[in-house]
Chains A and B, each alone.
Chain A
Amino acid sequence: DAGVIQSPRHEVTEMGQEVTLRCKPISGHDYLFWYRQTMMRGLELLIYFNNNVPIDDSGMPEDRFSAKMPNASFSTLKIQPSEPRDSAVYFCASSLDRSYYGYTFGSGTRLTVV
């Protein structure tokens, strides 16, 4: 199993541009989570899906952020327009329903907005 795959690993973009982050969860996992990690705020849960349906998006900071999961093997997190304060590492994680084994995280996307 290749694990949770995120792309790109690094993204540098100019303020105001649209950014799309991508995630492929582990096959068979039916929960998918998007987290943001910064020095100031630590790990923040942005949104999570169950069976491709968004369950809780209360962590999405504002309307500039949106997430989709069109099928069980793919999810995107989009920021439009991007701002310098969005600079962070964005992690995707997946897990099995009611798994006792926690989440499996991807390697993250380091986003820098200049």
Chain B
Amino acid sequence: GEDVEQSLFLSVREGDSSVINCTYTDSSSTYLYWYKQEPGAGLQLLTYIFSNMDMKQDQRLTVLLNKKDKHLSLRIADTQTGDSAIYFCAEGGGDYKLSFGAGTTVTVRA
């Protein structure tokens, strides 16, 4: 089976950058994803990166992938109160099932 690990909590001041880290074990992972879950809602896909990429930037979001260390990170620039949520890292490979981490709860304080 595949394991995806994340730290459980992150507290950040409004306006600062947030960095959420994730490690995975399946070296055959083809795609890696970041999802956001707001209270009472389902998971919303934020961004994704292919395993042959090192970095992807999308507005305030930057994804970094270190394939050698199987480490994925999500950086949110200029963090806002609306960014408070649970963030899930997920990886997918040939069998098309995604494996999700436990989620990192991000709290943005004023």
Contacts and interface: CB of A to CB of B under 8 A. Distances in A.
A70 interface: no
Interface residues of B, number: 21
Contact of B98 (A4, A91, A103): A103
Contact of A56 (B41, B42, B97, B102): B97
Interface residues of A, number: 19
Question: Interface residues of B: mostly helix, strand, loop or mixed?
Answer: strand
B103 A42 contact: yes
Interface of A: 4, 31, 42-43, 45, 48, 56, 91, 93, 98, 100-108
10 contacts: A4-B42, A42-B100, A43-B103, A45-B97, A91-B42, A100-B48, A101-B48, A102-B45, A108-B41, A108-B42
Given A98-B96, A101-B48, A104-B45, 5 more contacts: A45-B98, A100-B48, A100-B50, A102-B35, A102-B92
